[in-house]
Amino acid sequence: MPNAPALVGRGVSVAVTGTHATDADLKQTLKVFKAVGEAIAITGEDLLDTVTAVSGSGPAFVYYFAECLMEGGVRGGLAQNLATQLAHATLTGAAAMLSESGMSARELREMVTSPGGTTLAGLGALETHHFREAVIAAIDAATRRARELAVS
């Protein structure tokens, strides 16, 4: 299933072969998916619900995070257009660093977190409000719902 960023050629699609699919079928499927972004072959249909949660629902979670960045900026006194511009550039820059730096998300986070600095204060607030648990719970909920929809 391609995800929403496929609309701008930056999607990620995952394919898994069924019992009757051939290597040629998989190759052709991946070729089609690559027309709109990345294409990944996996083994195990049981993983597709989690794939759906991470890459199918994930863009909405990122968009929601962007909304929150913008709202925080506006609440801090920024004009809406400036808060929007800053959030968009921040997200695209951070995504590029994740894709191109060769560093893990943890390494990048630690690289920009100075002891006693503003980033550390913000991360502390995210931890206080259980940000990590909330994101993981969102993936779990989306995975459960994908499984429910597969049965109905």
Contact 16, 43 (CB under 8 A): yes
pTM check: above 0.95:
no
Q: Break the chain into its structural domains and give their ranges.
A: 4-43, 58-151
> What letter would DSSP give residue 4?
G
Residue 123 and residue 38: Cα distance in Å, rounded? 31
10-residue mean pLDDT series, the chain (152 residues):
87 93 95 96 93 95 98 98 98 97 98 97 98 98 95 86
Domain 58-151 in this protein, CATH class: mainly alpha
